[in-house]
Structure 1
């Protein structure tokens, strides 16, 4: 699906579900990582995460579009457009949009570990974040630490 096809789909859903036109831009944003879509308050544009279409299909994409269109139409009308507002919850329920989108398996199941080894006693340390090896030393013998390798594991194992 291209950005032009997405624009047409968003305009169609806006007219059918909300009975109001969508007058701004909708496009795929490859930088989105943890969310299905985003409504921009300043420009009134809608960004969509393409990974949700690839992993979960058209139904998930339509749900994300409905969710973002709820933010869009309520904000333009000056009503409560935030997740906790009653106007938002009511409109989302009326159009059948999801409150949250599904999780992405390709993003959430990867875990990164860094393995450091003490050059004196050989003790190994598994860390999620990089550490400054000039500043930190082995807790057992005060020896120098050395980064040995970076391991990326799937979260389901």
Structure 2
């Protein structure tokens, strides 16, 4: 799937809204390339859907449609004055009814390599970390033993 222009993106979101929610999407949707850890977000004060363009380029079409459905759950519940936040019962039931995902899968490009490997001297539990750990300051979370760099 190629990156969509604003008109095509709006048409896609509107079609998904009518298909799964039987309600029109009448507000603004756009791509936001600054989103890093999420596939999209709904901003209630502006009634705006922002979607991560990397999900269109790196993932399959079903994943992107799932993100749109998830954000439309927030959107429609907010407009109706119901609980639209992740912990609300209304939100969870609408996710289930529309087959929307609770979370999006991480992007393949966001996989980080764990550079630092530590193990506990007592229980041999292994810790893989992105950043270095001061082994004189921190201890094993399992048994409290000393850590050593592998």
Shift of 1:112: 8.4
Shift of 1:111: 6.5
- SS for the counterpart of 1:26 is strand
Rounded to whole Å, the distance in 2 between the matches of 1:108 and 1:29 is: 20
Q: Does 1:26 align with 2:29?
A: yes
Matched residues, number? 117
Structure 1 residues 49 and 111, CA gap change in structure 2 (3 angstroms): farther
Q: Does 1:16 align with 2:13?
A: no
TM-score (norm 1): 0.69
Shift of 1:58: 1.1
Which residues of structure 2 form unaligned runs of 5+? 117-129, 133-150
- 1:1-157 aligned within 5 A: 1-109=4-112, 128=131
Rounded to whole Å, the distance in 1 between the matches of 2:8 and 2:82 is: 29
Shift of 1:107: 1.9
Runs of 4+ with >4 A deviation: 110-113
Mark the structure with the bigger radius of gyration.
1
TM-score (norm 2): 0.72
Structure 1 residues 40 and 128, CA gap change in structure 2 (3 angstroms): same
